[in-house]
Amino acid sequence: MLIDTPSVEFGWKAADFELADPQGTQHSLEQLMGEHGILIAFICNHCPYVKAIATRLAEDAKLLQEQGVSVVAINSNDYQYVPEDSPDNMILFAERYGFTFPYLVDEDQRVAREYGAVCTPDFFGFDTAGHLQYRGRLDDTKMGDANHRIPELVNAMLQVKENGKGPSEQHASMGCSIKWKR
């Protein structure tokens, strides 16, 4: 089911969390926070929208990391319902796309609920104080057409780095609904 994300609520405070990656290493928001903020991406392995942007996400993440903006991805899907989203498959997905950031398992889906994540991909960009400054899409590329691209998320996070505020105009991300446990 195709879903759009809600509009940004500027200044909303990031909820702290502690989640493990598929290998069992624990990560907290505090540990992950970058010198110039953090991007939290709710993604999964099976969604065609995530697959369509995964290479660009990995490239954009590297650029942001070089600029002191930390990046983390979280998989909140019920992988009992969608086995392709299992932790073992998360490892393969991250390797396939060259992720240079942690890809964490939200087993009980608490983090997705606290953040109000609704779809994959769903991007949350925070300043260094943990206040929401971006809730939008990766870029303006249409599904399957990468000939012309404005990297909206990168531009927004670099703006946050420079002046602490995200852009006033943001476009909703869209994707598949999070697969909630029954």
In the chain, where the domains are located: 2-177
Percent of the chain with pLDDT over 70: 93
pLDDT digits (tens, 9 = 90+) for 54-86: 999 999 999 999 999 999 999 999 999 999 999
For residues 155-171, average pLDDT: 94
pLDDT for position 146: 60
Beta strands in 43-180 (DSSP E): 70-75, 103-105, 119-120, 122-126, 132-134, 174-177
Torsion of CA 86, 88, 92, 98, to 10 degrees: 90
Over the chain, what is the mean pLDDT? 93
Comparing 69 with 144, the larger pLDDT belongs to 69
Residue 5 has pLDDT above 80, yes or no: no
Give the span between the Cα atoms of 68 and 118, in whole angstroms.
27
Beta bridge partners of 34: 37
Residue 4 has pLDDT above 80, yes or no: no
* DSSP three-state, residue 174: strand
Beta strands in the chain (DSSP E): 2-4, 18-20, 26-28, 38-42, 70-75, 103-105, 119-120, 122-126, 132-134, 174-177
- Contact call for residues 125 and 166 (beta carbons, < 8 A): yes
Candidates 3.30.70.2500, 3.40.30.10, 3.40.50.300, 1.10.760.10; correct CATH number of 2-177? 3.40.30.10
- Contact call for residues 20 and 26 (beta carbons, < 8 A): yes
pLDDT digits (tens, 9 = 90+) for 30-48: 999 999 999 999 999 999 9
pLDDT digits (tens, 9 = 90+) for 93-118: 999 999 999 999 999 999 999 999 99
Percent of the chain with pLDDT over 90: 85
* DSSP three-state, residue 11: coil
